[in-house]
Homo-oligomer: A and B are copies of this chain.
Amino acid sequence: MPVLRKDPVVKRWVIIKDDQPFKLSQLQVEDTTPKGDTSKCPFCPGHEEMTPPEVLAYRSKDSEPNKEGWEVRVIPNKFAALKNEGELNRKLFGVYDKMNGVGAHEVIIETPEHFESFYTYPVSKVEQIIWAFVDRYDDLRKDKRLRYIQIFKNHGKAAGASLEHPHCQIIATPVVVKRVMEEIDGSKEYYIYHDSCLFCDMIDQEIAEGIRVIEKNSHFVAFCPFASRFPFEIWVLPLKHRADFGHISEEEVRSLAEIMSNVFKRLGRALSNPPYNFIIHTSPVNSPGIDCSKFYHWHIEIMPRVIKTAGFEWASGFYTNPLSPEEAAKLLRNA
């Protein structure tokens, strides 16, 4: 019998349809190994002039900006969804709202190596990438027009990546994004009832039950969420309550790099390097009206893109997942 499970934060129901034995062959796993014509890749070293000038780079001391010699390089997106000049100019048109598309859209080129990925990186490389997230996050929040900083990654065509050279993206928006507002509203409601952080309580329950946990280290836990939308969906949460990703400590950065590195190696082995999105959900910035520091809890969601979403998901916000998170966690622990 299929089972309905509810995500306690956003009250999203999923159908865990594991009444038939699960076979990996049910999934559509794109081969995400780079095929690479690196000669035309705008993110490969030596091609720095093909991109807008860098806003951040970790590079050797004897190298020049926008030349070779970098290890991580951050640039404005050439095809930016939002632009950083101008005023918001918010206007009402009858029942509708409209404003200028002010914001930021950056690309974090993770490595000069075209053929590497989170499936192959050493921990030190993952750590470097997380530091780039932190540095850009800290810088972007200084722009008082911005309300939310969304860090995310598309890996593979099925996940929406248009270039295969490993990169993440940041889009900073002048409004708080809908999904995060839903998480804030849901965790606020829980806080009012229980006087505790829903995410902290969820972490306690996951660690106590153990069946959905993949890895745990000194500062983080990775588990397949109870109401997983997708096969092998993975959430990574800091053990210490913090709403704001920007408040991550040095020790936590190291610990996060370790757990992310392990989790991606397990996922890569279990599913032959599948396409995925990962996203960081954190509290809004420059939003004194939204004080969620007591009850919101920043985290990472990793969503392998191995099944199709269709009309029912779009219509309902329901998801149908052929693999239980308990089984997924077991497969990942054994991978």
Q: How many copies of this chain are found per oligomer?
A: 2
User: Which residues in window 234-278 of A have CB below 8 A to B?
Assistant: 277-278
Quote the shortest CB–CB distance from A183 to chain B (angstroms): 11
Residues in chain B near residue A82, CB distance under 8 A? 2, 15
> Complex Cα distance A118/B109, Å?
45
Q: How far is the CB of A192 from chain B (nearest CB, A)?
A: 15
The reply to whether the CB of A35 lies closer than 8 angstroms to some CB of chain B is no
Contact partner, A83, options B2, B10, B279, Cβ 8 Å: B2
Distance of A326 Cα from B13 Cα, bound (Å) = 35
Does A65 belong to the interface (CB within 8 Å)? no
Whether A1 lies near B100 (C-beta < 8 A) is: yes
Question: What's the nearest-Cβ distance from chain B to residue A176, in Å?
Answer: 9
Q: 0/1 per residue, A1-27, Cβ < 8 Å to B? A: 111111010111101110000000000
Contacts of A178 in B (CB 8 A): 10-13, 316-318
Judge whether A99 is part of the interface by a CB distance below 8 angstroms.
yes
Give A11 to B96 CA distance when docked, in angstroms.
Answer: 10
Interface stretch, picked from A36-44, A50-58, A66-74, A304-312, is A304-312
B312 touches A205 (CB 8 A): no
Q: A311–B279 contact, CB under 8 A?
A: yes
Name the distance in Å between A27's Cβ and chain B's nearest Cβ. 14
In-complex Cβ contact of A311 among B1, B152, B308 (8 A): B152
A281 within 8 A of B: yes
Q: Which of A309, A311, A320 has the most CB of B within 10 A?
A: A311
Residues of B within 8 A of A180 (CB): 316
Contacts of A210 in B (CB 8 A): none
12 contacts between A and B (CB under 8 A): A2-B101, A4-B100, A4-B101, A5-B97, A11-B178, A154-B310, A160-B309, A160-B311, A179-B315, A277-B311, A301-B315, A303-B314
Known: A159-B311, A171-B318. 9 other contacts (CB 8 A): A2-B100, A3-B99, A11-B178, A13-B178, A95-B201, A96-B205, A150-B315, A152-B315, A177-B317
